Amino acid sequence: MKEIYLAGGCFWGVQKYFDRFGGVALTEVGYANGPDSAPTYEEVCDSSGHAETVHIIYDENKITLTKLLEYYFMVIDPLSVNRQGNDIGIQYRTGIYYTDERQLPEIRSVVGQQEKKAGQPLAVEVAPINNFFPAEECHQKYLDKNPFGYCHIPRKMFDL
């Protein structure tokens, strides 16, 4: 099993989206790459510096990191800074946070393809995961618990 951390705006939709793919064994929403103390949701919304992030554990024999990242780029605006959909703030920045430097060539390849497609540098952070604090239980699988909750990801994307 491998893992990757993806920040793509509000983590509710990002989690629901990645839960749909075969090979994804586990997802957990949380707060990443901010100060080294565990924040509350309210602190994150008040610009704590953390990004709303989804920790993804996947079986590389069933789904590749390249494929996960291709799916990721289907539901984010990679040129937007600190914003996805109607969500605005540093916690909604986009980022690919890795745990193993051996993932970098694959990450760089996909990011390079996306930059070429966009014709400009992306606003997607690529960095090692510095810290990750699981979000409160009420945020885990939020859109399963609240099917009509807000999400910047179009609903049709949940049916891929």
The catalytic site residues sit at: 10
Supply angle C-alpha 85, 91, 93, rounded to 5: 60
Pairing of strands 51-58, 24-32: antiparallel
- Encoding tokens for residue 124? 């997607």
- For residue 108, CA distances in Å to 22, 79, 100, 103, 124 come to 24, 16, 13, 9, 11
CB atoms within 10 A of CB 68: 22
> Which parts of the chain are beta strand (E)?
2-8, 24-32, 51-58, 83-84, 87-88, 94-98, 124-128, 132-134
